[in-house]
Amino acid sequence: MFPPNEEATMPKVVVAEPEAGPPGGPDGVLCGCALLATARDEDLVLVPHGVGDAFLGYLGGLLGRRLSGANVVVGRAADDGRAAAEIRARAGDLADWCVTAYRPGRAVLALAEDLGVPLSGMDGTAGAAAREFLRFGGAEAFRGRIGTRLLASTVGAPLAPGRLAGTEHALATAVRTLLPVVGRVLVRQDSARGEALVVTVHDEIRDERSAVVRVPADDCDVDFLAAELWPLLSGHSGAPVLVEVHQRVLCSYVAEFWVPGAEGPPRLLSVAERRPGVAGLRLPGGHLAAPVLAGLTAHSVNIAAEAGRRGFSGILHVESGTTGGGALLVREVREGTAPGVPVDHLARALAGPGYARDRVVLTRTGIGVRDFAAAVAVLEAAEVAYDHPSRTGVAVTADATVCHGEIGWMVVGLDAGHADRLEERALEALLGTGSDARVTARCGQ
């Protein structure tokens, strides 16, 4: 895994693996499309789905490259043998090739070994440690809330108070102990997409992401509550359940790093703000006060460095949130690309290496349209399509219209207001057309 925006010295196979869900699901499709942006003319990109010629031609024109179906290898899994066979058939002699991935894992390592080519960024003693790290789970070791807490607590990063419950009785004890802190606790499975609910004493009926259970502040039967929740959240396997003090997060920020394993310090690529109400990011990350930015950067760097010491090599995201009380808490650590796009890589490719100083970048996925080419035509007619001379406009970065009816894009503006206006005009243009580019109601979710 070579650092973003630094050219490899050999042709490469770029492996796209979705974080979760089926390979042909929205995450897998968007991840694969986004990673095509990292490919050079001679590279191959292993994706879990087909990619349309219209999108490949558009992306190639956007980035000044010759991309076509010849760059795409479709494979549901990197380590099933079929992907390796197809890559050999396409590339022929692999003597000068390497495998790279923005989300390295056991399957990626197995593919590189099957092909008999190096896994880029893993040479020498540090590389041996990184390969061993991947062989026995890799970043899966700190995926999920429990893994995030273990990694963050090692370096003293700020976390919401929490307890891990392995039994129904322990769940009752955890809720009884933590509920009085702010009157809200989040009870969840150890999975980014697992069942979760909020137990609260406050008069509220909904949460941003989870179901809400309201209980009386003074006379809550916690044992009865735990008996109800334990089978729901723990499942048949009796898996542990995490209970955390749940404070409302006003803003979430994602620090993106290149981590070179144990051989050097992590490199901060960007700090982005998670956009409320849509699946996307804003770069630079809002208007953080200097002390908050310093604190966020410090604990995020420490987490990334600890991941490197454990053998991780690649792109890492550390998400933190600010609460109503002014606290800054670590929320999630995840490897690989942010949802839908390798953010810093593509922002540099479109807006230049100094984009953080003179541009504002918005990303967004889940924009429901029926036809990719029609959507691009609408953006061009509305005069909001990306313009290279001005380094501003709307660039479509992912096409999942065939299987899921949605696209993802990156908006580059001169400032925050300009970027917002460009996106508003783009959405209005799509909403206003009666063609197959008509945006669906999912665009705002």
Position 209 pLDDT exceeds 60 = yes
> So what's the pLDDT on residue 28?
53
For 20-48, what is the mean pLDDT? 70
Q: What is the side-by-side strand order in the sheet with 196-200? A: 162-165, 241-245, 184-188, 196-200, 211-214
Q: What are phi and psi of 209, to 5 degrees?
A: -125, -15
Look at 172-181, 209-218, 376-385 and tell me which has the smallest mean pLDDT: 209-218
Q: pLDDT band for 264, please (50, 70, 90 cuts).
A: confident
Give me the pLDDT at residue 338, please: 47
pLDDT at position 168, please? 95
Residues 54-104: tens digit of each pLDDT: 999 999 999 999 999 999 998 878 888 999 999 999 998 998 899 987 677
Q: What pLDDT, on a 0 to 100 scale, did the predictor assign at position 339?
A: 46
Question: Domain locations in the chain?
Answer: 12-120, 162-245, 359-445
CB of 249 closer than 8 Å to CB of 323: yes
Handedness of CA 18, 23, 27, 30 (dihedral sign): positive
State how beta strands 98-101 and 12-15 pair. parallel
Arch. (CATH architecture) of 359-445 = 2-Layer Sandwich (3.30)
| C-alpha–C-alpha distance, residues 424 and 329, integer Å | 32
Least Cα distance to 169 among 219, 224, 213 occurs for 224
Question: What is the chain's percent helix, strand, coil content, to nearest 5?
Answer: 40, 25, 35
- pTM of the predicted model, to two decimals? 0.85
Residues 6+ apart with CB under 8 A from 86: 73, 74, 75
Flag the least confident range among 128-142, 261-275, 333-347: 333-347
- Given pLDDT bands bounded at 50, 70 and 90, which one contains residue 340? very low
Q: Which residue has the higher pLDDT, 420 or 345?
A: 420
Work out the pLDDT band at 445, boundaries 50, 70, 90.
very low
| % of the chain with per-residue pLDDT over 70 | 85
pLDDT at residue 94 in the model: 92
- pLDDT value of residue 319: 94
Stated length of the chain: 445
- Can you give the pLDDT at residue 444? 39
